[in-house]
Structure 1
Amino acid sequence: MNKTAILLVFTLATLISCSKKKEDNSRHSTGKINAISIVIDNQLWNGVVGDSIRNKFASPVEGLPKEEPIFDINQYPTNVMEGFVTKSRTIIVIKIGSENHFEVKQNQYATPQNVFHITGKSVDALLEVIEKNTPYMIQSIKKGEIDAHWELLKDSLVIPKTLQNQFQLDLKVPKSYSFSIKNKNFVWLKREFSSGCSSILVTQFPVSNFNLEGNILNQIVKIHDSIGAAYIKGEEPSSNMYIDTSYPLYLLETALEGKTAYETRGTWRLKDSFMFGPFISYLIVDPKKNRITYLVGFCYVPSKDRRDFMHELETILKEVRIN
């Protein structure tokens, strides 16, 4: 083969490769919220490696009254790593190889997408690589799922002027939410549907009303219960919302809008009633303006799993913009 023919073959191969990459990057990833694809041989999946993956990526979500997995796992053998599988938003590829290796490839087959490649020389090596990198993978997947949920919601969102005027904050909520209560210091937004309802609460108070050096969780419980006693009631006069401390409570110090914030998850209950469900709240400290913003999302869905309802509320609350 002469030099010209070799050059033509090389150029053609390069063009085909570039065209394939461009085609992959133009594909939009698909999949349900909180669903991940695991590509692994059946023998590994049915053994201790599969057990490790299930224990880590299908562990219970914190703060739900009934156990539900963090992610829904779909397993595929390596020989079907094509077609719809490659369009998944999150893919974890696990295999025995010549080296112990962990790598993340973004938008490898579609956009947006994270593909985690895990290789080990043996089963024990695979378990070690998985153990070491699980926290990072879970954190990355959770962030990707929040972003994906926001993309699903964004076309139906509005910023209620009441929130801008009263609290100097922008909180985009779906148009399906309406005001259940609206006064000077408190707002309750509610969305009702056939199987239940979702709610968002907003209030503010001076920083001096909260002891940042004290027990944060106990104070948040008291704030939440006082809101329930004042505004969220059942049919009976004595029936009001409170945090059920017989269920686990989860507190995480984080940041929203560059401000110190405390995320709390747990279970609410309506006194003298069978109604209960999960909640998530953010207490955001703004010392420069001497105010604390308290946001709560909760749902009542007695006949369905609650994870994705709460994920929607978390997505909405995390996008708050405080002026």
Structure 2
Amino acid sequence: MKYLGTLLLTGLLLAFVSCNDFSKQKKFLPPSTGSVNSLMVVMNTDLWQGPVGDTIRERFAANVVGLPWEEPLFSITQLPPRVFRGTALESRSILYVLRDTTSAAYVSKDVYAKPQRVTVVKGRNEQELISNIQRISDEAIAAYKNVEISEAQKRFARSLNKEKALEERFGIKLTIPSVYRVGKEEDNFVWIDRPVQKGTMNIIVYEMPMNSLTNDSTFVKDIVKMRDSIGKKYIPGPNEGTYMITEKYFAPYVFPAEIAGKKAVEVRGIWEIHGYPMAGPFLTYIINDKENDRRLVIEGFTFAPATEKRDYMFELEAIIRTLEIL
């Protein structure tokens, strides 16, 4: 009996050590890799070339709203499962689609690398796969976007802009890379920008009264009027009498949002220069800051003619989403 007890105790200790070793191994994942807004799709080529692949492209390569021309949500690379190994496992965003004896769709976290999101879609036939992709797509897109924004924000921290204009004027803080610089600073307006190929990326900040933009029936028109008045006052074009306005012929897209724990409105659209042929995308957040009795407006916009702008606008969004109200 004593010998049997010793064996049982030894077995339990080995099992405990093995479990601990396994949990430690799971924690030590390689860093994920991949370009910004890229998606690795793992599925058989026959599925990719048929209706299942069409559904994936329809959902995950849909056009980003508020850009001057068509650009997809994600740049997709497709691999068959037999070659999904090595560095491909370390992709930051993965969509794995396979025929199976069960039907399922779910998003997992940090499976092969960290940070990482892996969406698995299973189905017994093509129709089940299509249905499951449609069902999980919004959740998966949100998961991919969140991990991309989080990763971008970590990269910003490597070299930060230390100017105090936003703190001194508005009592706020943004995590901004050092390549950005304050270009204009007035009582109720700060303009920060950085050079890019053929143009600039820009962030502007200003305040509006808390009682502005309260009429639901004219809400979008009032946002356009607000932007145009700020553009006329602070953002001149290249010639005398020219200035930034909202593109005249297409209303901007408006969505509910939350920034720094506060209710906000997200506005995406196209800006143009009144009286001059210049245009580009903008992303505006109007934040209800009740504690300070104001609507805080933070906008990112890009001028980069003949250049894809999806990733530029993504960087501006990632910066704005670091907002802290001090």
- TM-score with structure 2 setting the length: 0.91
Structure 1: unaligned runs, 5 residues or longer: none
1:72 aligns with 2:65: no
Q: Which of 298, 303, 308 in structure 2 is aligned with 1:300?
A: 303
Distance 2:127 2:26 in 1: 37
Distance 1:96 1:179 in 2: 54
How far 1:213 sits from its partner (Å)? Answer: 4.4
Q: 1:112-136, CA deviations, whole angstroms, 9 ceiling, x for partnerless residues? A: 1111111101111111111111111
Q: Residue type of the partner of 1:239?
A: T
How far 1:149 sits from its partner (Å)? Answer: 1.3
Q: Residue type of the partner of 1:186?
A: F
Summarize the Cα distance change of 1:151–1:73 in structure 2 as closer, same or farther, 3 Å threshold.
same
Q: 1:137-168, CA deviations, whole angstroms, 9 ceiling, x for partnerless residues? A: 11111111111211222212235312111101
Distance 2:200 2:83 in 1: 40
Q: Report 1:51-200 matches (<5 A).
A: 51-200=54-203
Distance 1:108 1:232 in 2: 47
Q: 1:44-98, CA deviations, whole angstroms, 9 ceiling, x for partnerless residues? A: 1111101110111000001001010000001000101210110000111101000
How far 1:258 sits from its partner (Å)? Answer: 2.2
Distance 1:210 1:106 in 2: 40
Residue 218 of structure 1 is matched in structure 2 by 221
How far 1:24 sits from its partner (Å)? Answer: 7.4
More moved, 258-267 vs 148-157: 148-157
- Maintained 8 Å contact 1:102/1:129: yes
Residue 243 of structure 1 is matched in structure 2 by 246
- Maintained 8 Å contact 1:159/1:170: no
How far 1:103 sits from its partner (Å)? Answer: 2.7
- Maintained 8 Å contact 1:24/1:109: no
Q: Residue type of the partner of 1:147?
A: S
More moved, 217-226 vs 22-31: 22-31
Distance 2:19 2:170 in 1: 55
Summarize the Cα distance change of 1:137–1:201 in structure 2 as closer, same or farther, 3 Å threshold.
same
How far 1:25 sits from its partner (Å)? Answer: 3.6
More moved, 294-303 vs 20-29: 20-29
Give me the identity figure in percent: 32
Q: Secondary structure at the match of 2:112?
A: coil
Summarize the Cα distance change of 1:169–1:127 in structure 2 as closer, same or farther, 3 Å threshold.
same
How far 1:235 sits from its partner (Å)? Answer: 2.6
1:286 aligns with 2:273: no
How far 1:18 sits from its partner (Å)? Answer: 4.9
Q: Residue type of the partner of 1:175?
A: S
- Maintained 8 Å contact 1:93/1:117: yes
Q: Residue type of the partner of 1:314?
A: E
Residue 266 of structure 1 is matched in structure 2 by 269
Distance 1:104 1:209 in 2: 40
Structure 2: unaligned runs, 5 residues or longer: none
Distance 1:74 1:175 in 2: 32
- Maintained 8 Å contact 2:179/2:194: yes
How far 1:248 sits from its partner (Å)? Answer: 4.8
| Alignment size in residue pairs | 316
Distance 1:159 1:206 in 2: 28
How far 1:211 sits from its partner (Å)? Answer: 2.2
Summarize the Cα distance change of 1:18–1:95 in structure 2 as closer, same or farther, 3 Å threshold.
farther
Alignment RMSD (CA, Å):
2.2
Q: 1:171-194, CA deviations, whole angstroms, 9 ceiling, x for partnerless residues? A: 222211122211111111111234
More moved, 266-275 vs 67-76: 266-275
Residue 255 of structure 2 is matched in structure 1 by 252
- Maintained 8 Å contact 1:100/1:120: yes
More moved, 41-50 vs 151-160: 151-160
Q: Residue type of the partner of 2:108?
A: K
Q: 1:19-39, CA deviations, whole angstroms, 9 ceiling, x for partnerless residues? A: 697277420000001001000
- Maintained 8 Å contact 2:160/2:176: yes
Residue 320 of structure 1 is matched in structure 2 by 323
How far 1:104 sits from its partner (Å)? Answer: 2.4
Q: Which of 28, 34, 39 in structure 1 is aligned with 2:37?
A: 34
